[in-house]
Structure 1
């Protein structure tokens, strides 16, 4: 169920019976010469909408701009600063509690959002108001990703390329796949910006001239479809697990 497609009386029926919502989040940032800036939020929305369709749980509108200042050197990248992002997501989520939601899954497709979503979840849980957890699609199927790609990226690599080939093939610049591979680096280690155990880089541009990593020519729509199906199954199982938990068991343990 997508919240924006429903009327308020129809949503009253949902809130009287269910207390779980899916919140998709991504970014609007560079993904190399071959993928659109919308890559992350398109992926997040696709997973959340599909899981909501299969399970009947509620999906909210997508948060399209995330914490992406590390991509700022590339044309068009948009971002919000981390404190403002956390405050916005917290306010957005607290809005859901007003309607009776007490558990949320942040369906996330941007690595730069992860630590901030975890912090928001902690704030809400510490207030014993709501239980919110972050879910990242590729983290739910790590073995499959490793099996499908010899060099998966991470950023703008073949796993994201394959996903967009599956979801929105018209947005992939297929004639730029080889250029993406040749103008980037295979992985962070190849960029030689890890020195004696220290990450000496702050921005994507410190590692790769065209903003991406991995071998994009290894991507296919068929691989994207397989990842989408298996990760969606994981998300649906997570929804059912979370919905079955007693709320008090999700809250912080008492002081010893």
Structure 2
């Protein structure tokens, strides 16, 4: 059930039965030689939309640009400053809460968003605590879930790829996009097969340390078949977590 494909009357009727909504959030950044630039937004989007269709949950438009400054030495990468992303998340929350959504589940696809989104949540709760009537508790519940960190997805990734999963341009996320968008699969030779691991400081340092954009991964192991398994695991993880949020 996509918010953007509903009329306002349909949204109003939905709110009579449920106050929950899923907001996919990701990033627009390089994902190695065979990964799509939109990977971090596409992964939570396809999982959220499938879960929404199966369980009649409202799904908001994807917030597809995130905090990705460290990828800016790779063409196609786009970033928001942390303060800009915080403002976007805050305004989205305020807008949806004004209409009566009380359980807002952000399904995230990009590790670089985590701290910033949590900081936006903290700002929202702080403003309520500072400005509302003493003793009154906000009825808005905010939650950030990372599709790649769900119990089923993590176990399946370890089973399928082991240490070759890596931490950026991972086998799992590339597999999921290959399943969702088979027409966009890239056949690219990886050299070395497994990328180096380590840290980085800024965009220049990232490109210097990881010339093809991968960190610790061998996404040549990715496949649409693995992507389908991860897709189903991601839906199950999301629905478990979402139901817990609604129960609050």
Could you state the TM-score of these two structures normalised by the residue count of structure 1?
Answer: 0.85
Residue number among 183, 195, 199 corresponding to 1:186 in the alignment: 195
Q: 2:156 aligned with 1:154, yes or no?
A: no
Aligned position for 1:228: 231
Q: Distance in 1 between matches of 2:179 and 2:147?
A: 15
**Which residue of 2 is the match for residue 137 of structure 1?**
147
How well do the aligned residues superpose, as a CA RMSD in angstroms? 1.6
Q: Answer with 101-110 or 152-161: which moved more.
A: 152-161
Mapped to 1, the partners of 2:219 and 2:166 lie a distance apart of 8
CA distance in 1, matches of 2:222, 2:200: 30
Match of 2:182 in 1: 169
User: 2:209 matched to which residue of 1?
Assistant: 207
Assess if the C-alpha contact under 8 Å between 1:121 and 1:131 holds in 2. no
Query: 8 Å contact 1:161–1:172 — kept in the other structure?
Result: no
Post-superposition shift, 1:125?
Answer: 3.4
Q: How does 1:1-256 map to 2 (within 5 A)?
A: 1-126=1-126, 127=128, 128=138, 130-140=140-150, 141-150=153-162, 151-174=164-187, 176=188, 178-179=189-190, 182=191, 186-189=195-198, 199=199, 201-203=201-203, 204-213=206-215, 214-245=217-248
Structure 2: 5+ residue stretches without partners: 129-137
Deviation, structure 1 residue 122: 2.2
State TM-score, norm by structure 2: 0.88
Residue pair 1:24, 1:48 contacting (<8 A) in 2 also: yes
Q: Distance in 2 between matches of 1:183 and 1:72?
A: 22
- Would the aligned equivalents of 1:25 and 1:64 in 2 still touch at CA under 8 Å? yes
Q: How many equivalent pairs are there?
A: 232
- Tell me, yes or no, if the aligned pair for 1:2 and 1:59 is still in contact at 8 Å: yes
Deviations 1:48-83 (A, max 9, x none): 111111221110001111100000000121011000
With over 3 angstroms needed to count, the CA separation of the structure-2 counterparts of 1:183 and 1:82, relative to structure 1, is: farther
Distance, in Å, in 2 between the alignment partners of 1:200 and 1:240 is: 37
Deviations 1:143-172 (A, max 9, x none): 221111031022112111111111111112
Q: Could you tell me how far 1:117 is from its partner in structure 2?
A: 1.3
SS at match of 2:201: coil
Q: What secondary structure is seen at the aligned counterpart in 2 of 1:149?
A: helix
